[in-house]
Amino acid sequence: MIKLGEFQTLTMVRRTDFGIYLSDDPMEDPEGILLPNKEVPENIETGDQLEIFVYKDSEDRLICTTHTPKISMGEIKKLRVVQLTKIGAFLDWGLLKDLFLPFKEQIGRIKEGESYLVGLYIDKSDRLCATMKLSKLLSAESPFNEGDRVKATVFSMNRDYGLFVAVENKYHGLLPQKEVTKHYELGDELHAKISKINSDGKLVLSLKEDGFAQMEADEHVVYDALIKNDGFLPLNDKSDKEVINKNLHLSKRAFKRSVGRLMKSGKIIQTDKGIEIKSN
């Protein structure tokens, strides 16, 4: 059976002026589907086999290609929006005909030129389309353990729960709202640690480092902010925790600890007005 949106090995059954026709079962389907002349390998003969990808052309006819698209059925990849129309968006997936992303399969407001994480599905008209609704496509059976570091991509957001992410573009993940300390947009990538694996297999992520590494990371946040602000920040031990979090995305405890470490190393001084880089 020829499978739309997948790579498969088919057999050449006949040749025409505009290409060759390939079939998965020459006896049952002697007609086959077209591989255009410009993609036909040299010296291929009737009965030879060829690995191809099956999709549909601009007139919704089955066609095959030897080119490798940027995504196939069962995969989740980031694709760039090349056109926005009244019926949906079109994505560059490496083939002559762009991939359609219907309005009903979009999440949030997408922008032309930006890239978003999508999967493939076959719609009611038997056409290949893209979807940003990835929950049904992601797996809850990952090979990871708690403490493993992974890369994740944001595909949905919820103010109550946090960021829904695709871990390594394959597995269900959540960055809880309490971990979301800055603004994220759909398609943003982040590196995180697996803090928990739920009973259903879904992964809970954390951006926090462990112990000493976290203290060093917080220290760099404070010092880098000082450098960007000409060596001074109007923050000190007495600053409100909300002001500290708004400016540095750190808790007051982490801020005070970082200031103490920087002062001990002789890099900064603290005054009633704030903290500043110590001059030589």
Do 201 and 221 belong to one domain?
A: no
With respect to residue 269, please indicate whether it lies within any of the assigned structural domains. yes
Do 216 and 201 belong to one domain?
A: no
Over residues 83-101, the pLDDT tens digits come to 999 999 999 999 989 999 9
With respect to residue 2, please indicate whether it lies within any of the assigned structural domains. no
Sign of torsion over alpha carbons 218, 219, 220, 222: positive
Do 222 and 273 belong to one domain?
A: yes
Please state the domain count of the chain: 4
Do 220 and 194 belong to one domain?
A: no
pLDDT beyond 90 at 69: yes
Once rounded to an integer, what is the mean pLDDT over residues 107-136? 93
Do 198 and 239 belong to one domain?
A: no
Question: CATH number, domain at 23?
Answer: 2.40.50.140
Question: CATH number, domain at 219?
Answer: 1.10.10.10
Confidence of residue 213 (pLDDT cuts 50, 70, 90): low
Over residues 173-184, the pLDDT tens digits come to 999 998 887 788
Domain final residue, candidates 189, 206, 223: 206
Over residues 2-41, the pLDDT tens digits come to 889 999 999 999 999 999 999 998 888 888 999 999 999 9
Which residue, 275, 266, 267, is CA-closest to 239? 275
**Cα-based distances in Å from 152 to 13, 108, 180, 238:** 44, 19, 14, 37
| Per-residue model confidence (pLDDT) at position 210 | 55
Burial class (CB in 10 A: 0-12, 13-18, 19+), 276: middle
Confidence of residue 209 (pLDDT cuts 50, 70, 90): low
With respect to residue 185, please indicate whether it lies within any of the assigned structural domains. yes
With respect to residue 61, please indicate whether it lies within any of the assigned structural domains. yes
Once rounded to an integer, what is the mean pLDDT over residues 92-111? 93
Mean pLDDT across the chain, nearest whole number? 91
Do 21 and 48 meet the contact criterion of CB atoms below 8 Å apart?
no
**Domain, as residue range, for 261:** 211-277
Do 84 and 59 belong to one domain?
A: no
Confidence of residue 246 (pLDDT cuts 50, 70, 90): confident
Do 199 and 215 belong to one domain?
A: no
Once rounded to an integer, what is the mean pLDDT over residues 137-149? 91
With respect to residue 140, please indicate whether it lies within any of the assigned structural domains. no
Do 237 and 265 belong to one domain?
A: yes
pLDDT beyond 60 at 144: yes
With respect to residue 71, please indicate whether it lies within any of the assigned structural domains. no
**Cα-based distances in Å from 161 to 151, 175, 186, 195:** 19, 8, 15, 16
With respect to residue 142, please indicate whether it lies within any of the assigned structural domains. no
Do 11 and 60 belong to one domain?
A: yes
With respect to residue 181, please indicate whether it lies within any of the assigned structural domains. yes
